[in-house]
């Protein structure tokens, strides 16, 4: 039987899931406050492809990623998805294994990652920002730019790297070998020396966005990811300039 787009697998359904949460759907876009709705993203998707099985699979994949972020990062602040969705779409449409198979595998990796780094494991990061907005990706590319500069932030290659890194962090935590991922007095881990309490994180990231120091402008459907700026150093410097206090442990 051919699948049909029903009320539960239209992209607007994801907006309804988010509306049921008591969260402010903030965007890091310096020109607007709230994220692009999934209904709007759905319109962009159907400009590229109208095949029902593909659309249903894409919607279900995005829904599973959104639900997992909500469950594992309940205090997340910025919720842009535009570039993640356009990246999934582009990669799926050229995937050797076919679009539906690619999306299913991509969704599994994203869900695993979100669960691994979130509040329900020993890693216990508070926000998805470093992953979603490309800070981790830029740092990874900078280590071997000739090999990695062409690999985009949401490619399976980079997701696999993060899954391996997550397992290594968990092992180090379990063996008491963690120095840079200490638990804060809030119960979350912070790899930075400066506070990442919500008001501090909001101030710092919005300033970085205004200065064009976010590696991946996820609020932009057609973003061009940037890896070759000193993002980590500029982040530390801006935290000092904004007088963000050291993290309490």
Please, is 83 exposed, middle or buried when counting C-beta atoms within 10 Å of its C-beta (0-12, 13-18, 19+)?
buried
Looking at the chain, the whole-number percentage of residues with pLDDT higher than 70 is 92
pLDDT in tens, 163-196: 999 999 999 888 877 666 666 667 788 888 899 9
82, containing H or E segment = helix 82-94
**Confidence (pLDDT) at 248:** 64
Query: For 9, which DSSP code?
Result: G
User: By the 8 A CB rule, do 167 and 217 touch?
Assistant: no
**Confidence (pLDDT) at 7:** 56
Q: How far apart (Å, rounded) are the C-alpha atoms in residues 134 and 115? A: 18
pTM as predicted: 0.93
pLDDT in tens, 7-61: 556 899 999 999 999 899 999 999 999 999 999 999 999 999 999 999 999 999 9
User: By the 8 A CB rule, do 31 and 209 touch?
Assistant: no
**Confidence (pLDDT) at 9:** 63
Average confidence score pLDDT of the chain? 92
Handedness of CA 211, 217, 223, 225 (dihedral sign): positive
Q: How far apart (Å, rounded) are the C-alpha atoms in residues 152 and 157? A: 9
User: By the 8 A CB rule, do 85 and 41 touch?
Assistant: yes
**What's the whole-number mean pLDDT along residues 73-98?**
96
Q: For residue 189, which of 179, 177, 176 has the smallest C-alpha distance?
A: 179
């Amino acid at each position: 039987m051919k699948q049909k787009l029903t009320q539960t697998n239209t992209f607007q359904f994801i907006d309804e899931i988010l509306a049921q949460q008591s969260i402010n759907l903030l965007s890091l876009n310096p020109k607007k406050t709230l994220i692009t709705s999934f209904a709007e993203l759905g319109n962009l998707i159907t400009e590229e492809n109208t095949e029902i099985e593909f659309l249903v699979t894409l919607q279900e994949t995005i829904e599973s990623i959104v639900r997992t972020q909500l469950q594992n990062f309940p205090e997340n602040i910025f919720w842009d998805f535009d570039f993640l969705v356009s990246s999934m779409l582009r990669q799926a449409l050229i995937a050797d294994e076919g679009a539906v198979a690619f999306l299913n595998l991509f969704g599994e990796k994203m869900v695993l990652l979100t669960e691994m780094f979130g509040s329900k494991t020993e890693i216990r990061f508070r926000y998805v920002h470093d992953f979603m907005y490309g800070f981790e990706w830029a740092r990874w590319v900078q280590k071997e730019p000739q090999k990695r500069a062409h690999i985009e932030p949401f490619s399976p290659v980079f997701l696999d790297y993060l899954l391996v890194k997550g397992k290594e962090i968990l092992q180090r935590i379990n063996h008491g070998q963690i120095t840079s991922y200490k638990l804060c007095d809030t119960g979350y881990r912070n790899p930075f020396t400066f506070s990442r309490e919500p008001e501090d994180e909001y101030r710092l990231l919005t300033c970085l966005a205004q200065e064009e120091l976010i590696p991946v402008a996820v609020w932009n459907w057609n973003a061009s990811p940037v890896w070759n700026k000193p993002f980590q150093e500029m982040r530390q410097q801006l935290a000092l300039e904004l007088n963000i206090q050291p993290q309490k442990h």
